[in-house]
A and B are shown apart, each in its own frame.
Chain A
Amino acid sequence: MIQFQNVTKRFGDFTAIDNLTIDIFEREFFALLGPSGCGKTTMMRMLAGFESPTEGKIFLAGQDIAPVPPNQRAVNMMFQSYALFPHLSVWENIAFGLKREGMPKPEINARVDEMLRLTRLEKFARRRPHQISGGQRQRVALARSLAKAPKLLLLDEPLGALDRKLREETQFELMDIQEKTGTTFVIVTHDQEEAMTVASRVAVMDNGQVMQVATPADIYEAPNSVYVADFIGDVNLIEGKVTATGEGTFALHWRDGAEPLRVKSPTGFSEGQTAHLAIRPEKVTISAERPADAANAVQGKVLDIAYLGNLSTYHVELPTGDIIKAQTANTRRISRRDYTWEDTVWLSWTATGGILLAN
C-alpha cells in the first residue's frame, strides 16, 4: 500500500533519510524502531505531508503523494504530545476533522459516538483535555485521528508519555483497535519491547537507513546484522575468523589456543572471513561440570550476578578475559543459589543456538 522508492531527505548538510526503499502492506501494524535521530520520525512526517522528500518518491495506494498537501491526504497522525486542542472538549476534538470534511451533522454525531465507544471515553465527552488523565488523553488522540477513517494511521511514540503499567495495557488496546478497524497502522517508537509487542512487522533503523525489516520473531532470532542483534535485546558477540567444516557448518576461531566454536549457518562464508557469533544469553546454559554432548563449551569464573526476579543473568569471565552472559529462569523460589561469585562454571550452547553474522 505504501512504497518508499529511493527516498532521501536532507536538512542542510544533515542526511536524515538515506536512499531508503521500503514497502508497507495493507492492514499491517508496522513499526519503525530505532534510536532517536535515526530518521524514523522524519519518515513518518513525510508520510503525513509535513516534510517532502529531497529525492525519490513515496506512493500511497499507487499514487505519488508528493504534490498532496497534508490536509488532503487520506493519512492521519497521532502526535507524540497528543496535540489535543486545549480550547475544545473531547467531543469537539474528535469531531474536528469530520467538521472540516463537511460531513452532515447527524453523521458526525454518530461517528463521534462510535469513536467514543471504541475508546471507552463516553463518560468524558464534555470534558476538556486538561480535565482528563494521561491515559484518557492518549485515547482521545487515537479516537480523533481514527475518526476520519484514514487509510493509514501514523502513531508517533503513542505510549511514550504513559507509565509502564498503563503502557502495557494500552499496547493490547491498540492492537485490538487496529484489528477492529482494519486500518493500516505505522508506529514510530524507540522502545523495542513496544515494537515487538504490537507490530506485525518491524523495521529497525539506524542513521537514516533501514537495517532490517522482518517479523518481531525474525528480528530477534535471526538478525541480519551485528547492529540489529545488538540493538534488540541482550546478546553476546564473539568475533573471530571463519573456516568451513562441512555442509553449512563452520568453525569460528575466536582466540589463539582456544577451541574453535562450532556454528551452523544457512549463509555461506569465505575461508578466513571475519565474522561475529551472536548468541542470546538465554541460549547459553550454565553448569558445574562440562556437559558431555555440548557442541560448544567454555570454562570461566562467575564475575557478577544480576537478579531480575524471574531471571538471573550471570556474567562469566573466561580465562581469555572475555565476558559471556548466561541467563537462567528462576523456576523455583531460591533457597540457595547453585552458583555464586568466584565459582568456576561451564557455559555451553548448541551449534544452532547462535547466529553467525558477517561484518
Chain B
Amino acid sequence: MGRHRLAVLDRHRRHLVGELMRRFLLIAIPYIWLLALFLVPFVIVLKISLSDAAIARPPYFPQFDWAEGIRAFIAELDFENFIWLVEDDLYWKAYLSSLRIALTSTVLTLIVGYPIAYGMARAPEEWRPTLMMLVILPFWTSFLIRVYAWKGILSNEGFLNQFLLWSGLVSEPLQILNTTTAVYIGIVYTYLPFMILPIYAALDRMDDSLIEAAEDLGCSRFSAFWLVTVPLSKGGIIAGCFLVFIPAMGEFVIPSLLGGSDTLMIGKVLWEEFFSNRDWPVASAVAVVLLLILVVPIVLFQRNQQKEQESEQ
C-alpha cells in the first residue's frame, strides 16, 4: 500500500471521527440542557416534598450532607407532607375544585368553540386564512393582558353590568368579578383558540360530499351533522379538550385575578404556600400530587395525537 493511499485512508478516518464527534455533540448539548434544567429539578421537587419544613435558609430539612452519606439522608425523608395534604381538607378540596372548574370550563369552551370552528370550516375558501389568523392572533397576545381585560368588564360597575342595567334585564348589578363564574369566563376566553384550532383542522380535512351523501341517503340536516360531522371531528374535539383541560387544571393567573376568596384552585394554593407561607416542602408535595393527577390526561393526550397522526398518513 502506497504512502498516498495511507494518507487518504487517514483522512477518511479523521473525517469519520469528526462526524461521530459532531453527532455526539448535537445530541448531547440539548440532552444535557434538558436533563439539568427539566429532569433534575423534578427530582429535587420530589426530594423536598419528602423533607420537613424548617425555619432556616433554605427552609427545609434535611439538607444533603456528603459526610453522613445517602442512607442517613434517605432515612430522614418521610411522607409527612403527603399525609398533611390528605388530613388538611384545604388541599383535597382545592384539588377537587380545580378538577371541577377545569372540567366545567373545558365543556363550556367546547360548546362555545365548536360552532366557531364549524362556521370557519363552512366559510368561503377565501375567508378562511383571515378567520384562521383572527383565531391565532389572541394566542400571540399577552395572556395576562387578556385576563386583565375582563376585570374592567366584569366588575360591579363594569360594562357588562352597565349593559344589563341599561337593558333592564337586572335591577341591581350582578356580582360576577371575584366569583367562580368569572374564572369560567376567563378560562373559556383565554383557552378558546386551543379548542377551535384542532376542531377546525379536523373539520377542514373532511370531505363536503360526505354530508351530501348522508343527506342523499335520507339523513336530515341535523342527523347528518350528528352522525357524520361530529364523529369525524372526534379527534379534534379530544385534542382540543385536553389542550384546555391540562393547563386549566394548574391555572394560577385567572383565579387570582378574576376569582374570589371562595375560588379554590390548586395552582393558587401552591403559589401561596410557596410565596406567602414559605412552606417549600408542602408546596413541593402539592406540585408532585398535581403532576400525578395530570399524568393520566397527558398520556391520553399524546396517545390521541399519535393516533391522529397515523390516521392522516
Q: Do chains A and B touch in the complex (CB under 8 A)?
A: yes
Would you give the shortest CB distance from A50 to chain B, in whole angstroms? 14
Would you give the shortest CB distance from B6 to chain A, in whole angstroms? 12
Q: Hey, which chain B residues are within 8 Å of A72, CB to CB?
A: 12, 15
**A68 to B12, alpha carbons, bound, how many Å?**
6
**A72 to B12, alpha carbons, bound, how many Å?**
9
Q: Hey, which chain A residues are within 8 Å of B12, CB to CB?
A: 67-69, 72
Q: Of A67, A68, A69, which one neighbours B19 at CB under 8 angstroms?
A: A69
Of chain A, the residue at the smallest CB distance from B19 is A69
Q: Hey, which chain A residues are within 8 Å of B13, CB to CB?
A: 67
**B16 located at the interface, meaning its Cβ lies under 8 Å from any Cβ of chain A in the complex:** yes
Question: Hey, what's the 0/1 contact readout for A67-92 against B, CB within 8 Å counting as 1?
Answer: 11100100000000000000000000
Would you give the shortest CB distance from A62 to chain B, in whole angstroms? 11
Q: Hey, which chain B residues are within 8 Å of A68, CB to CB?
A: 12
Q: Hey, which chain A residues are within 8 Å of B16, CB to CB?
A: 67, 69
Would you give the shortest CB distance from B129 to chain A, in whole angstroms? 21
**A68 to B19, alpha carbons, bound, how many Å?**
13
Q: Hey, which chain A residues are within 8 Å of B15, CB to CB?
A: 69, 72
Of chain A, the residue at the smallest CB distance from B12 is A67
**B295 located at the interface, meaning its Cβ lies under 8 Å from any Cβ of chain A in the complex:** no
Q: Hey, which chain B residues are within 8 Å of A67, CB to CB?
A: 9, 12-13, 16
CB-based A-B contact count at 8 angstroms: 11
Would you give the shortest CB distance from B150 to chain A, in whole angstroms? 45
Question: Hey, what's the 0/1 contact readout for B1-30 against A, CB within 8 Å counting as 1?
Answer: 000000001001101100100000000000
Would you give the shortest CB distance from B5 to chain A, in whole angstroms? 8
Q: Which of B15, B16, B19 has the most CB of A within 10 A?
A: B15
**A69 to B13, alpha carbons, bound, how many Å?**
10
**A204 to B134, alpha carbons, bound, how many Å?**
58
Q: Hey, which chain B residues are within 8 Å of A69, CB to CB?
A: 12, 15-16, 19
Would you give the shortest CB distance from B158 to chain A, in whole angstroms? 53
**A52 to B19, alpha carbons, bound, how many Å?**
16
* Contact residues of B between 10 and 57, Cβ < 8 Å to A: 12-13, 15-16, 19
**A68 to B9, alpha carbons, bound, how many Å?**
8
Would you give the shortest CB distance from B300 to chain A, in whole angstroms? 31
Would you give the shortest CB distance from A63 to chain B, in whole angstroms? 8
**A69 to B17, alpha carbons, bound, how many Å?**
12
Of chain B, the residue at the smallest CB distance from A63 is B5
Q: Hey, which chain A residues are within 8 Å of B19, CB to CB?
A: 69
**A50 to B9, alpha carbons, bound, how many Å?**
18
Would you give the shortest CB distance from B15 to chain A, in whole angstroms? 6
**A356 to B94, alpha carbons, bound, how many Å?**
86
Would you give the shortest CB distance from A170 to chain B, in whole angstroms? 32
Would you give the shortest CB distance from B296 to chain A, in whole angstroms? 34
**A68 to B16, alpha carbons, bound, how many Å?**
9
Question: Hey, what's the 0/1 contact readout for A218-258 against B, CB within 8 Å counting as 1?
Answer: 00000000000000000000000000000000000000000
**A67 to B8, alpha carbons, bound, how many Å?**
10
Would you give the shortest CB distance from B295 to chain A, in whole angstroms? 33
Of chain B, the residue at the smallest CB distance from A66 is B12
**A210 to B9, alpha carbons, bound, how many Å?**
31
**A67 to B16, alpha carbons, bound, how many Å?**
9
Would you give the shortest CB distance from B16 to chain A, in whole angstroms? 7
**A72 to B16, alpha carbons, bound, how many Å?**
12
Question: Hey, what's the 0/1 contact readout for B269-308 against A, CB within 8 Å counting as 1?
Answer: 0000000000000000000000000000000000000000
Would you give the shortest CB distance from A357 to chain B, in whole angstroms? 42
Of chain A, the residue at the smallest CB distance from B15 is A69
Question: Hey, what's the 0/1 contact readout for A44-71 against B, CB within 8 Å counting as 1?
Answer: 0000000000000000000000011100
Would you give the shortest CB distance from A178 to chain B, in whole angstroms? 29
Q: Hey, which chain A residues are within 8 Å of B9, CB to CB?
A: 67
Q: List 11 A-B contacts (CB under 8 A).
A: A67-B9, A67-B12, A67-B13, A67-B16, A68-B12, A69-B12, A69-B15, A69-B16, A69-B19, A72-B12, A72-B15
Known: A69-B12, A69-B19. 9 other contacts (CB 8 A): A67-B9, A67-B12, A67-B13, A67-B16, A68-B12, A69-B15, A69-B16, A72-B12, A72-B15
A-B residue pairs, 10 tightest by C-beta: A67-B12, A69-B15, A68-B12, A67-B9, A69-B12, A69-B16, A72-B12, A67-B13, A72-B15, A69-B19
